[in-house]
Amino acid sequence: MHGVILEVATDSVEGAIVAEAGGAGRVELCSGLFEGGTTPSLGAIEHAVHRTTIPVFVLVRPRGGDFCYTPIELDVLRRDIEHARTLGARGIVLGCLRPEGTIDAAATRDLIARARPLPVTFHRAFDMTRDAFEALEALVDLGVERVLTSGQEKTALEGLDRIRELVERAAGRIGVVPAGGVTERNAARIVRASGVVEVHASLRSLVESPMQHRNGRAFLGCELRPDEYARGATDGERVRALLASLGNAGASTAP
C-alpha cells in the first residue's frame, strides 16, 4: 500500500495547509461541507494555491441538493471553472446528472472542455446515478480522469464490494477513488480489498468557537443546522494516522 495518494477534502485555507503538513498528496478545496461541498470563494482558491505546494483541486458546485442544473447554473459553473484555472487550481471536481439518473454527458463534456488542460474528477454525484457501471462507461467515454464513489452506499466501507467491481471494470481507464466515511480506522481495509491507489477523506474534528458571548436564542440558518459555536476543521493528526495505517512515510503527490 506504499504510495497510496490521500486526497483531503477541506473547506478552508487553514485546512489545506494542515492537510499538506500532515502528508496529504492532494487537496480538494470546497465550501459548505455540511451540504456535501459547494464552490469555494475566489479568495480561498487563491490563498490555498499560494500557501501550499501540493495540488489543489477545486470543486465547482453552485448549490447543495441535487445535481441536475439549470442553464443559469451551468453558466455559473463555466465561470467558476475559468476563475479556478486562472487562480492556479491544478484540477477541477464536478458532476452533472440528468433527471432520469444518468450522467449529463452534454453538460459534462462542455465543462471538461473548459477545464482543460486540467484533470477532471467526477464527484459523488456518481453515487446518485441509476446504474454505476453505465455511469462509469459514460465517464470513460468523456475522458474523465477519476471518479469519487462510496460504491453508491452510505459509506465506502459499506459499498466496498461495488467499489472493487468498479475498479475491475475500469481496468485502468479511469481512476476509482473511494470516498464517504473513509477514516484512519478503515482506509487500509478499503485499499487492500479494492486495489485502489487513491483515497478521499475529510478527516475533520470539531473545533470550539472562540466566542465568549453566545446568544442561544438566535441562529443563522434553518432548523437543521450545524452548531453556531463549533465547526469541523481538518485534523492533521488524523491525516498522519490515516497515512500511517497505509504504511506511508508520506503520500505521493498526484498531478
Q: What is the mean pLDDT of the chain?
A: 92
Specify the CATH number of the domain 5-209+219-245: 3.20.20.380
DSSP β-ladder status, 175-178 and 5-10: unpaired
Residues 6+ apart with CB under 8 A from 202: 8, 9, 10, 33, 232, 234
Mean pLDDT of 20-37: 94
- The yes-or-no verdict on residue 250 having pLDDT over 50 is no
Report the DSSP beta bridge partners of residue 230.
Answer: 208
Show Cβ contacts of residue 220 under 8 Å, excluding neighbours closer than 6 positions: 228
Length of the chain: 255
Angle at 249 between CA 168 and CA 36, to 5 degrees: 55
To which residue does cell 471494470 refer? Answer: 169
Least confident of 101-105, 133-137, 142-146, 210-214: 210-214
Residue 233's pLDDT is: 85
Q: How far is 85 from 107, CA to CA, in rounded Å? A: 18
Sequence-distant (6+) residues with CB within 8 A of 253 are 5, 25, 26, 54, 55
- Confidence check: pLDDT of 219 > 80: no
Q: How many CB atoms lie within 10 A of CB 71?
A: 8
Give yes or no for residue 212 having a pLDDT over 50.
Answer: yes
Per-residue confidence (pLDDT) for residue 248, from 0 to 100:
63
Is it the case that residue 76 has pLDDT exceeding 90?
A: yes
Cβ pair 129, 105 in contact under 8 A:
no
Q: What is the C-alpha to C-alpha distance for residues 166 and 41, in angstroms, rounded to an integer?
A: 33
Nearest CA-CA partner of 91 in 187, 5, 27: 27
List % helix, strand, coil for the chain (3-state, nearest 5).
35, 20, 45
**Quick one: what percent of the chain has pLDDT higher than 90?**
80
- In sequence order, the 6+-apart residues with CB closer than 8 A to the CB of 104 are 68, 69, 96, 97, 98
Q: Residue 97 — pLDDT band, cuts 50, 70, 90? A: very high
Question: What span, in angstroms and rounded, lies between the C-alpha atoms of 24 and 26?
Answer: 6
- Read off the pLDDT of each residue in 65-74 and give the average, rounded to a whole number: 96
Residue 227 pLDDT: 66
- The model's pTM: 0.88
Asked if residues 138 and 105 have their Cβ atoms less than 8 Å apart, the reply is yes
Res 75: pLDDT: 98
Residue 117, preceding peptide bond in cis (omega within 30° of 0): yes
